[in-house]
Chain A
Amino acid sequence: MKILIIEDETSLAQPLREYLTGEGHVCEWVATFQAAEEKIGVYEYDCVLVDIMLPGGSGLDLVDSLKKMQPHAGIIIISAKNALDDKILGLELGADDYLTKPFHLSELNARIKSIQRRRQFAGNREIKFGDIRIVPDSKEVWVNDSEIVLTRKEYDLLMYLVANANRVLSKGSISEHLYGDEIDQANSFDFLYSHMKNLRKKLSEQGCPDYIQTVYGVGYKFAA
């Protein structure tokens, strides 16, 4: 996908760009409101990441004009503001998603993947990874032609792992994806171990190779 990153903080835009390029996307980056306006006016993008507080203007205005000029582009707002008003306004203006800083790159990646999926045509909505086949519309998971019944959290976990395949994922990133901000880290890590254990068990019961590698001291890596 062609992605435009509108973010004034260079040291944040840099890893963003690197991560997404690594995922096979084509990334462009601008740091100011004016530059963003020019880019949007000239080029078409599949997905745009917008920071709200920009030098020269508000990212919300960019969302508004993007929605008018490029209605098919996916829009993800990245903001340090966790203010509910901004969130609501942003989504009302037509943004697809709202991420509050600090966020995990893997989380952003998962959200972009989800936008990507929504943009694809119906019928082609299966995700394959090794022996695993996932049908997101019906939330079905198949291993070697037999269906695995997962709980909602286990399903979310698997989707997150698949979206960030071949990447090292920190425990914090996964547990935040699953449980949000409200549950503190100690409990959410415990949750994570428990879900990870169950998911592993359910997959291996159907003869699926163990794709979940434990990276000591950091987290996990999902790789064939």
Chain B
Amino acid sequence: MTLITKATRSFLLACIAALAVGGVSCFWFLHQIMDSEASDQLLHEKEQVEAYVNEIGFLPKRWFSISDSLWAVRTHPPVPIVMSDTVLFSTVQQEYLAYRQLSFGIATLNGYYQVNIRKALYETQGLKQALLWAFSGLTILLVGLLFFINYRLSRSLWKPFYRTLDTLQTFQLAQKEPLKFRRTSITEFQTLQANLQKLTNQLRQDYQSLKTFTENASHELQTPLAVIASNLEMLIQAPNLTDKQLERIGNLIETVGNLSKMNHSLLLLTKIENGQFTDATDIAFSTLLSEKIDLWQPLIQDKSLQLSTQITPNVRLQMNAFLVDVLLNNLLGNALKHNQPNGSITIELTKTTLTISNTGPQPSIPVDQLWERFSKGSSRSDSVGLGLALVKQIADTYYFLISYHFQDGWHRVQISFNIS
């Protein structure tokens, strides 16, 4: 629900509630006033009749001057004063009409009479109805007008806000230029824009410095690594090294190699986390997967592994080309590395999932820790435990769901693509 809809709705509800309560109570008051007015009039007419009788001694002959409808019946005292409402059928209007009637006893020189005076209530009813119509008409007009003005006003008032929102939505961490908001004359929105500007600028700067830090960290670590590696490489060229010495240097070279690969993977993780691989292209995933499998084929044969594949053709994904490469290399590499002699690999690609299963020893750590950095499911020294962390990071980047199961000697990694 938009702000304007919400505001308008609340406004309408309030209007309706106020008018309903106001209308009903107004009507009730009106009714009460008119009702007592009718009774008062009847009583007043009674006084007039009594005054006439007191003065003249007889009932008035020309009673039109006193009341609309008056008749007297000769009777015996006592007669109580009764005020009653009644309906009578009117032949003129062909409907029942409401009347109020007052009957009382009065003694004249002619004897005792019961006097009835009657007053039409339908006149006041008509008045009430007319008032009701006028009131409703006015109300509808008023609410309609208020509603319209309120809506228009809200829209024009909130326009700068929505423009600001639109601008904010285009914000990207990696963008080089600061956000440009359209100027507004409303102070609150100016404050909002100024703060957003400050916030996004800070974000951009932080992101930029993080990026610079990542690159600098890379530089700072790579150079010493390069120094160690090059000097070791020079060292093994020396003549007269014993086998023992050569082996030791060999170990060092391998360790430095691992170290620089680790550094490389960590930097890659950071870069993916920072969203530095945003450019996505349309990847022919099925083709790429087949190519990758072909690439690994010699090693699969060399390790006498049974490979079975089931690849649905024409699966396409919107991904960064480099990240797809890293993803597949790690998944396939793991399936080979953590396999057993004469083991098996199955690769299955459907429109929505990629499942890679391989035989192998049970992982030595809990399954939910497998995705964490530096956690190793095996005690191999040549595995640094960043491969699955990279896979997870890439999957997270694209909102892919990733799962791992170990059952009956089979490792199964499944990625569900989020195609929406």
- Chain A contact residues, CB within 8 Å of chain B: 9, 11-12, 14-16, 18-19, 22, 53, 80-83, 100-106, 153, 167-168, 170-173, 176, 181-187, 189-191, 193-195, 215-219
Contacts and interface: CB of A to CB of B under 8 A. Distances in A.
B287 interface: no
Contacts of B231: 11, 14-15
A104 to B, nearest CB: 6
Contacts of B329: 182-183
5 contacts: A9-B223, A15-B230, A80-B219, A81-B218, A82-B222
A182 B391 CA distance: 12
Contacts of B337: 184, 186-187
Contacts of B218: 80-82
* Residue with the greatest number of chain B CB neighbours at <10 A, chosen from A80, A81, A216: A80
Contact of B225 (A15, A19, A102): A102
A101 B257 contact: no
A194 B246 contact: no
B382 interface: yes
A192 to B, nearest CB: 10
Contacts of B68: none
B226 A12 contact: yes
Interface stretch (B153-161, B181-189, B259-267, B357-365): B259-267
Contacts of B222: 80, 82, 100-102
Contacts of A80: 218-220, 222-223, 226
Given A53-B219, A186-B380, A195-B298, A218 B236 contact: yes
B325 interface: yes
Given A15-B233, A19-B234, 11 more contacts: A53-B219, A101-B225, A102-B223, A103-B226, A167-B237, A170-B233, A186-B380, A191-B298, A217-B248, A218-B246, A218-B250
Contact of A184 (B226, B249, B302, B333): B333
B383 interface: yes
Given A12-B230, A185-B258, A194 B236 contact: no
A170 B250 contact: yes
Contacts of B258: 185
Contacts of A16: 230
A82 B267 contact: yes
Chain B interface residue count: which class? 35 or more
A186 B248 CA distance: 19
Contacts of A187: 299, 333, 336-337
Nearest to A181: B264
A184 B219 contact: no
B53 interface: no
Contacts of A186: 337, 380, 382-383
Given A81-B218, A171-B254, A172-B253, A183 B333 contact: yes
A170 B223 contact: no
Contacts of A82: 218, 222, 264, 267
B252 to A, nearest CB: 10
Q: Which 7 A-B pairs have the closest CB atoms?
A: A217-B247, A218-B250, A102-B226, A172-B257, A80-B222, A217-B250, A80-B219
A25 to B, nearest CB: 15
Contacts of A194: 298-299, 302
B250 A185 contact: no
Nearest to B249: A218
Contacts of B261: 181, 184-185
Contacts of B257: 170, 172, 176, 185
Contacts of B227: 9, 11-12
B215 interface: yes
B145 interface: no
B230 A218 contact: no
A102 B250 contact: no
* Residue with the greatest number of chain B CB neighbours at <10 A, chosen from A102, A153, A183, A219: A102
Nearest to B383: A186
* Residue with the greatest number of chain A CB neighbours at <10 A, chosen from B219, B226, B251, B254: B226
B279 to A, nearest CB: 10
Nearest to A167: B237
Nearest to B382: A186
A191 B219 contact: no
B243 A216 contact: yes
A219 to B, nearest CB: 7
A187 B250 CA distance: 18
A28 B222 CA distance: 23
Given A11-B227, A171-B254, A218-B246, A190 B380 contact: no
Contacts of B215: 81, 83
Nearest to B257: A172
Contact of A170 (B236, B298, B302, B383): B236
A202 to B, nearest CB: 14
Nearest to A100: B222
A12 B249 CA distance: 18
A102 B298 contact: no
A18 B219 contact: no
A28 B316 CA distance: 52
A205 B387 CA distance: 39
B256 interface: yes
A194 B296 CA distance: 12
A72 to B, nearest CB: 27
Contacts of A190: 299, 302-303, 336
B326 interface: yes
